[in-house]
Structure 1
């Protein structure tokens, strides 16, 4: 997709630069090897757009570097929690939810450092894909990793890794490919990671005596934590992406719409239906559907 001299729109259909008309007037052009618009005059915009178009069709070295760094970082975070749980320094349920709460947001932050190459999203998707493959191999018994089983499973059964944790990585992979740097994708992952993770962590500690009247296994404390965590992380990430020039500032300013999505998803997560359906699938799916309409 080539940059246009007349107010080019980004990959998600968002305007990146102002309208430019008239000879020599400035307009914004996005260069594939960079993250921010570069202001050029109209007479220089077409050559820049042609160069941009060629670069967009190639794998950028910066994207490969960011992918390797993010993969090493995510592996280090997971291994740290695995080690802490194996040595009984933290509860295994807490370890499982800390992995759930931290890895996703850290991964989304890595999106900020990729270029505008059309291959960037595919390289980024390698990170959750590799982690999902690791969980699949351990859960199926092809690879033995007692520390990972203890840190990620509820009851110490390796096959548990093939359910919630594996679904988590699948959602991260699919959202990266199909909702790359889009508000709906950012909000959906914020809700799945921070929201759902905090709901469990807070609910287990502060949920006694305030169970929901329609689902005794959920609490007002847990649901409130999910709503607060989802909304806070969504707003922080949207503001960051807007500050990097990757989102229209209006998307970061739509707090009321983001709050509505978080409220609806928090209600969904609290329903008894999630005993049969994994909320790592239902919650982000609902957030994506609603977010695609509102954001």
Structure 2
């Protein structure tokens, strides 16, 4: 009787706490604490990881330049060795360089400071490669390993076309558009992931050719559009996690339109004559300027 009186003498708020405790004990109803969305935690960790490079000092950008250049150079050296040792077919090795180097370099962009200083210093890394392609392509500098890893037929003069356009695209994407522009993402991703994967998959499974270009396959063009689009969306989320751009459904749709347009341009016979390393990023920039 005394316990019953004590129970009804508890104030309303305490009664609520008592009932909650009673339910938890007897019925196993556990009230879990609210947690922040996982995506927000990932964003916070990414920002913290890049905090040491987020300043505007020359020293932080110099460190970022050294690290980014080291990563790009290491990748190139790896592919030079695989080409030298014949690990992959020469054309496949060339496309592996094509896919990985530009995308890996773009992953390093958050290490640089905001503003023009970071953009220009980042652009110096592929910019140096432009000079290298010119020296090798003109025969002034001899480097058989680099020529073999980047050319179709082992001719050093080939470096004055595709490889030179490739380095120029990434340089301009860094210096002009930078990490706050979805156009930079579209240009680099469709050039690297799109065009690179189109050739790799098209050579292996592309038995059905396009009616207007017997040098291109249906599966290769579809692969290019899909790879360029998926890479673009992936980098959209990546840069959005740092707050450089604002992800949106419209941007995703814009990336899809750009990737389809780039794949159509790449499949055209004129693109083969000029060089798709030139026509693909040009198409991405022009269409991206309208839809992104």
TM-score interval, normalised by the smaller of the two chains: 0.7 to 0.9
Cα deviation, residue 68, structure 1 = 0.8
Are positions 1:183 and 2:214 aligned together?
Answer: no
User: Equivalent residue for 1:284?
Assistant: 281
User: Cα deviation per residue 1:132-172 (whole Å; 9 max; x = unaligned)?
Assistant: 22222122222211111111111111111111001110111
Q: Provide the TM-score with structure 2 as the length reference.
A: 0.79
Cα deviation, residue 65, structure 1 = 0.7
2-side partners of 1:103 and 1:126: how far apart? 15
Cα deviation, residue 118, structure 1 = 2.4
The structure 2 residue matched to 1:110, chosen from 108, 111, 135, is: 108
Cα deviation, residue 174, structure 1 = 1.2
5 Å-filtered alignment, 1:1-295, equals: 35=54, 59-181=57-179, 182-208=181-207, 210-250=208-248, 254-295=251-292
Q: What secondary structure, in the 3-state scheme, does the structure 2 residue paired with 1:254 have?
A: helix
Cα deviation, residue 205, structure 1 = 0.6
Cα deviation, residue 63, structure 1 = 1.3
2-side partners of 1:177 and 1:151: how far apart? 26
Q: Provide the TM-score with structure 1 as the length reference.
A: 0.78
Q: What secondary structure, in the 3-state scheme, does the structure 2 residue paired with 1:259 have?
A: helix
Q: What secondary structure, in the 3-state scheme, does the structure 1 residue paired with 2:215 have?
A: strand
Unpaired runs of at least 5, structure 2: 1-50
1-side partners of 2:201 and 2:192: how far apart? 14
Cα deviation, residue 275, structure 1 = 2.4
Judge conservation of contact 2:83–2:145 (CA < 8 Å) in 1.
Answer: yes
Q: What secondary structure, in the 3-state scheme, does the structure 2 residue paired with 1:248 have?
A: coil
Q: What secondary structure, in the 3-state scheme, does the structure 2 residue paired with 1:69 have?
A: helix
Judge conservation of contact 2:90–2:152 (CA < 8 Å) in 1.
Answer: yes
